[in-house]
């Protein structure tokens, strides 16, 4: 079966067509600047060159039409007709407490996604627009919603509650939800396969270190804690997000800078993290590594603080689970930066973890990067959220 995977943002739409039998990508692409001047679609059919078409895209309906045209056109198309697409999997950012796993999309499901939209006001409405646009262009094709929050719904109350009046949780659903769940789920399951043991016998820590970064504790195959919270702002220091701060910082900055809550929220999301700590050098770890090695003070400060926070979380999750068998690195930084992995693992001697410097040279491939005598297995496991979405979609549509 051919599965179209859609990841719809407010002005962008990423897509992949995946053959569910071979699990190969048939075509992948991106619509950019939807509803803005200068919109374009670019896509790469497997084994062919990238195609870019600059064309007006006033809304997501038009973007979906262009995706279908890209997939079916005579010159570069990968399917002869729309009927070859068996199902569509949609990435949905927030499922609140309603969704603990992926579901077939019905009108009831759409209503429930709408109901939790105030928890992700920038993302869920865009995800819903993507669903509606697909329904219009591909009526009758089954669709599945795969939630970023679902994998973390097994967290116990101790881990998900904030120390706030309980009534705020009951009235407004203010609690920790966690994100990147599709990635944490995929990587932890893959790690279980690589370790060749039963999931119930393993305590894993998954470090999803990308531009957005989060870490999770997976005990017996179930997520028991994760670093992101009500929103993806909590937890690790990220590319441009602050991660954990004292909430009083918000009011303090507002008074000092005579700014609004919206200004400070923007600062915490877009101008903080390693970008802000490096004195605006970069949010990209390739630039930060170069700066670090050239003695750039900001780059050193940013990378060291980033690494410290990851190590601190690994320590606390080891305590939460009463031990750890394996630590997995994934996403842009985790998969590619041996430099960052080494800085982190060099500080994990307290749990008996030892990195193999030679094996750690790996980039973007599954590999064990710990020494044979390491008490904790260190693994690089590239994530594949689109494949995870396609798998769930097939499983629910068969
Ligand atoms: P992601 O959000 O998972 O797509 O990760 C994107 C981030 O990964 C970029 O902003 C970089 O910081 C980082 N990254 C990608 N490739 C490399 C690399 N070769 N070395 C170090 N960092 C990388």
Q: What is the pLDDT of residues 271-284, one digit of tens each?
A: 999 999 999 999 99
Mean pLDDT of 186-201: 98
Structural domain total, the chain: 2
Instruction: Read off the pLDDT band of 121 (50, 70, 90).
Output: confident
Long-range residue pairs from 312-316, CB within 8 A, at least 24 positions apart, any chain? 313/215, 313/227, 313/235, 313/236, 314/205, 314/207, 314/215, 314/344, 314/348, 314/351, 315/350, 315/351
Q: Indicate whether residue 384 lines ligand 1 (CB < 6 A).
A: no
Domain ends where: 147, 171, 206?
A: 147
Residues 38 and 143 reside in one and the same domain:
yes
pTM of the model: 0.96
Instruction: Read off the pLDDT band of 159 (50, 70, 90).
Output: very high
Distance from the first to the final alpha carbon of the chain: 9
Instruction: Read off the pLDDT band of 192 (50, 70, 90).
Output: very high
Mean pLDDT, the chain, whole residue set: 97
82 domain residue, yes or no: yes
Q: What percent of the chain has pLDDT over 70?
A: 100
> Is 280 marked active-site?
no
Mean pLDDT of 352-369: 98
Checking if the pLDDT of 9 tops 90, the result is no
Residues 352 and 268 reside in one and the same domain:
yes
**Distance from residue 340's CA to the centre of ligand 1 (Å):** 11
Q: Indicate whether residue 337 lines ligand 1 (CB < 6 A).
A: yes
Q: Which of 37, 49, 118, 148 is catalytic?
A: 148
Residues 222 and 356 reside in one and the same domain:
yes
Mean pLDDT of 31-46: 95
Q: Indicate whether residue 334 lines ligand 1 (CB < 6 A).
A: no
Range of the domain at 224: 197-380
Q: Residue 398: its pLDDT value, please?
A: 82
Q: Indicate whether residue 229 lines ligand 1 (CB < 6 A).
A: no
Long-range residue pairs from 354-362, CB within 8 A, at least 24 positions apart, any chain? 362/338
Determine the Cα–Cα distance for residues 131 and 41; give it in Å rounded to an integer.
19
**Distance from residue 311's CA to the centre of ligand 1 (Å):** 19
Q: Residue 140: its pLDDT value, please?
A: 93
Residues 117 and 203 reside in one and the same domain:
no
The CATH number assigned to the domain holding 31 equals 3.30.420.40
55 domain residue, yes or no: yes
Residue, of 76 and 227, whose pLDDT is higher: 227
| Top mutation candidate among 7, 184, 332, 361 for ligand 1, by most atoms within 8 Å of CB | 332
Domain ends where: 147, 163, 189?
A: 147
**Distance from residue 178's CA to the centre of ligand 1 (Å):** 21
Mean pLDDT of 220-249: 97
Hey, whose CA ends up nearest to atom 11 of ligand 1? Answer: 284
The response to whether 35 counts as a known ligand-binding position is no
Q: Residue 10: its pLDDT value, please?
A: 83
Residues 264 and 368 reside in one and the same domain:
yes
Mean pLDDT of 218-237: 97
396 domain residue, yes or no: no
Determine the Cα–Cα distance for residues 230 and 357; give it in Å rounded to an integer.
37
CB distance 142 to 104 below 8 Å = yes
Q: Residue 122: its pLDDT value, please?
A: 83
168 domain residue, yes or no: no
204 domain residue, yes or no: yes
């Amino acid at each position: 079966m051919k599965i179209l995977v859609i990841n719809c943002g407010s002005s962008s739409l990423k897509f992949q067509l995946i053959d569910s039998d071979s699990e190969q990508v048939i075509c992948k692409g991106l619509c950019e600047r939807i509803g803005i001047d200068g919109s374009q679609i670019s896509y790469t059919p497997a084994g062919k060159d990238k195609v870019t078409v600059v064309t007006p895209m006033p809304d997501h309906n038009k973007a979906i039409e262009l995706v279908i045209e890209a997939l079916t056109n005579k010159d570069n198309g990968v399917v002869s007709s729309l009927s070859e697409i068996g199902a569509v999997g949609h990435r949905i950012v927030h499922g609140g407490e309603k969704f603990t796993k992926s579901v077939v999309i019905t009108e009831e499901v759409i209503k429930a996604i709408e109901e939790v939209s105030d928890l992700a006001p920038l993302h869920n409405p865009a995800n819903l627009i993507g669903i509606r646009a697909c329904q219009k262009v591909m009526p009758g094709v089954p669709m599945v919603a795969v939630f970023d929050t679902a994998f973390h719904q097994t967290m116990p109350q101790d881990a998900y509650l904030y120390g706030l009046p309980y009534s705020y949780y009951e009235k407004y659903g203010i609690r920790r939800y966690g994100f990147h769940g599709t990635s944490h789920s995929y990587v932890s399951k893959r790690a279980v396969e690589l370790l060749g043991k039963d999931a119930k016998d393993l305590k894993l820590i998954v470090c999803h270190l990308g531009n957005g970064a989060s870490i999770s504790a997976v005990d017996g195959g179930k997520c028991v804690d994760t670093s992101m919270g009500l929103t993806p702002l909590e937890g690790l220091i990220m590319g441009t997000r602050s991660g954990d701060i004292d909430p009083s910082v918000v009011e303090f900055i507002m008074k000092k800078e005579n700014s609004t809550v919206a200004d400070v929220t923007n600062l915490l999301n877009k101008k903080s993290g390693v970008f802000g700590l490096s004195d605006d050098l970069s949010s990209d770890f390739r630039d930060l590594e170069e700066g670090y090695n050239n003695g750039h003070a900001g780059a050193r400060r940013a990378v060291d603080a980033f690494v410290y926070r990851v190590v601190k979380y690994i320590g606390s999750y080891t305590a939460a689970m009463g031990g750890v068998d394996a630590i997995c690195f994934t996403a842009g930084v985790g998969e590619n930066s041996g430099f960052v992995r080494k800085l982190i693992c060099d500080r994990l001697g307290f749990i008996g973890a030892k990195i193999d410097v030679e094996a750690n040279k790996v980039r973007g491939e599954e590999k064990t990067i710990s020494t044979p005598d390491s008490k904790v297995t260190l693994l690089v496991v590239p994530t594949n959220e689109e494949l995870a979405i396609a798998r769930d979609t097939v499983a629910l549509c068969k």
